[in-house]
Homo-oligomer: A and B are copies of this chain.
């Protein structure tokens, strides 16, 4: 049996998970591949000794020991973040190693440089674990759905944000309380900004869009809005409209322009995405031939992410053994076929909206609001006006028919400047 040697840089949660998956599945993988996939070296500056079960593996503090080892075929980068991860990956490529990584922040911002370097050197880059944790979403997109022009991507891609929204929905708790609880339980990081403000979700959307459409796209092209301003009252009103609030990544392919956005969205509760709760992820592709295909599973975690990293290692190991490198292009399309694209301006995106307007409780309020909406070409589907609350203002909740973002921004700015309006209006898009 041929041996493929692997070096891992970074022995934190996912790094040690990957090592454990390789160990636990060694026999299983040989039965499938006729290969021995051997973890030869781990490089980590924090780790002083590897657990006994990895006794066949060398520990080093110097990643160069991996790049300089001619026996190592595949370098697995699992330290995360931009630097030194980027330098390490470029060094590995320069040394002719294949690379596997779960680094969505890096690939969504410096991916082009990395993939161009890999193309020049003829090495492979695997990144299944960068989106959707253990869910084989990238393989599905690149290979299973190859015979499709992807029409849309829509998904819940951040487990922390979905956990927080699910807890708020199930227990009627405010955002801050749930976040603190999630941090205490280890479901949210000390600095949760990337997760709750939609940035991590946008990283993942960028990676999927490149492969789905064969385009160059930058993180800055994505409109991003997080969940920190969502209040229990909005979740309650969503329920009254038969919806649940989810942080969705949405991209629609209009041919000559493509949408790219991340924002809280009211999803009808009959939609499968509304039923993906807790820390789970769900990603839906619509292909012009296949229709909707949704993949669901754990979007993070030591062993699930390790499962995806090892799937990439196996894929590349097979290509090394069969001498068929780059049998499938890293980014789905041949490098020469990746084109620039036009991103749909947010102002032109249209769909139904939820508005929660806080107004003083006196006659004529709804008439003023409705007048402004009408003037801006926004038609109302339904209105809920609640009785006065303690603070002296009442929520006026409006569900609109399809409205263009530009008109919404103008109308809400005008509404918020009314003397009868006491707080900034909350707007949430409704999935159409």
Contact = CB atoms under 8 A, between A and B. Distances in A.
Contact of A145 (B148, B293, B311): B311
A333 interface: yes
Nearest to A289: B307
A208 to B, nearest CB: 15
B291 A147 contact: no
Contacts of A139: 136, 139-140, 143-144
Contacts of A295: 140, 293-296
A315 interface: yes
Interface in A124-144: 128, 134-136, 139-140, 143-144
B29 A147 contact: yes
A35 to B, nearest CB: 10
Contact of A272 (B34, B147, B288, B296): B296
Interface of A: 21-22, 24-25, 28-29, 31-34, 128, 134-136, 139-140, 143-149, 214, 270, 272, 275-276, 287-298, 301, 303-304, 306-308, 310-311, 314-315, 318-319, 322-324, 327-329, 332-334, 337
A301 to B, nearest CB: 8
Nearest to A301: B291
B147 A307 contact: yes
Contacts of A134: 287, 289-291, 293
B145 A136 contact: yes
Contacts of A327: 318-319, 322, 324, 327
A98 B297 CA distance: 33
Contact of A311 (B143, B308, B322): B143
A330 to B, nearest CB: 12
Contact of A128 (B31, B144, B328): B144
Residue of A29, A143, A145, A296 with most chain B CB atoms under a 10 A cut-off: A143
Given A134-B290, A147-B310, A290-B303, 17 more contacts: A22-B147, A25-B147, A34-B334, A134-B287, A136-B145, A136-B293, A139-B139, A144-B311, A146-B311, A148-B307, A290-B298, A291-B303, A291-B304, A293-B297, A294-B294, A294-B297, A295-B296
A297 B282 CA distance: 13
A214 B143 CA distance: 23
A145 B214 CA distance: 25
A308 B134 CA distance: 22
A292 B295 CA distance: 11
A24 B290 CA distance: 13
A386 to B, nearest CB: 29
A143 B315 contact: yes
A293 B29 CA distance: 19
Nearest to A136: B144
Contact of A290 (B29, B288, B304, B328): B304
A290 B318 contact: no
Contacts of A272: 272, 275-276, 296
A414 to B, nearest CB: 40
A24 B310 CA distance: 35
A144 to B, nearest CB: 2
A21 B291 CA distance: 13
A32 B334 contact: yes
Contacts of A301: 291
A333 B289 CA distance: 30
